Amino acid sequence: MIEALIALLFGLLIGSFLNVCIHRWPRNRSVVKPRSHCVRCRKPIAWYDNVPLVSYLVLGGRCRHCGARISLRYPLVEFLTAMLFFYQVSTLGPTVAALKMCVFCALAVALIFCDLEKRILPDQFTIGGAALGLIFAVLVPRTDPGLVAIVYSLVTGAELTHWLWSPAESLFGAIVPAFFLWLAGWLYFKVRHREGLGLGDVKLVAMVGSFLGMFGALQTLILGSLAGSLIGYTYIKLTGKDPASYELPFGTFLGAAALVAAIFGKYLIPM
């Protein structure tokens, strides 16, 4: 339990840093300089006003200097990241596998809010995340063959070497679902003559596949598409927005679906 509590505290700190990335990377700004400041009055934020969750509550969600309201996104990202870190470490223990899933959860949370706020999925999270997923595939071997190894055995009649289970599942999990999502977007553009899918969504699915493998990426695509269609259609109807021009934050739905797949995926489809 102590390890899980430490992970929770560490998740709060990571969540605080994610907030900086969520605000700055979509705007092509450095996350190093300048130091944290109020977006309204530009006053630097003192360290005691930058304590995850606590400072937001103490300040009543407002800037100490100008009184401008602080976005609810800040405590929400910190809280979600902390809870996800706590869950992964309490479930998997203080292991490299838990570290892998904590990194994945942090990436997913960041992408959810980046797309929700700016309709941008930064390459630092998607492409960089996919690279991390491939690295973790080597560090955290699979205990089961996975879809790729099963298909390989069916096609060739031979078993894939055990040490290749994880890298193969990660690599093909990143490439195949992302390719078919890109293909769907390309066909949509050819038929409707307007873009219906951003390349960032494709790269997000590649990141998910590199961490969760083929099944995880497919679960994410199915759940994200269903949620996006149902919730998006309902929102458009209730607000009276134009369906032809409204830009649905599909990456937000994919990111949320990825978290569901990471936590509940084994109950949805046998892995």
Domain boundary (94, 115, 150) is at 94
Percent over 90 (pLDDT), the chain:
70
If asked whether residues 88 and 168 sit together in one domain, one would say: no
Q: What is the pLDDT of residue 135?
A: 97
Give the distance, in angstroms, between the CA of residue 1 and the centroid of all CA atoms in the same chain.
26
If asked whether residues 150 and 271 sit together in one domain, one would say: yes
pLDDT tops 50 at residue 167: yes
CB-CB contact of 144 with 154 (8 Å): no
Q: Does residue 256 form part of some domain?
A: yes
If asked whether residues 139 and 268 sit together in one domain, one would say: yes
If asked whether residues 46 and 170 sit together in one domain, one would say: no
If asked whether residues 137 and 262 sit together in one domain, one would say: yes
**Where does the chain have alpha helices with state H?**
2-24, 54-58, 73-92, 96-118, 123-139, 146-156, 165-192, 199-239, 250-268
Q: What is the pTM of this model?
A: 0.93
The domain in which residue 12 lies consists of 1-94
Percent over 70 (pLDDT), the chain:
98
Once rounded to an integer, what is the mean pLDDT over residues 152-181?
93
Q: How many domains does the chain have?
A: 2
pLDDT tops 80 at residue 87: yes
pLDDT tops 80 at residue 269: no
pLDDT tops 90 at residue 15: yes
CB-CB contact of 200 with 247 (8 Å): no
Domain boundary (73, 94, 115) is at 94
pLDDT tens-place string over residues 202-257: 999 999 999 999 999 999 999 999 999 899 888 888 888 777 677 889 999 999 99
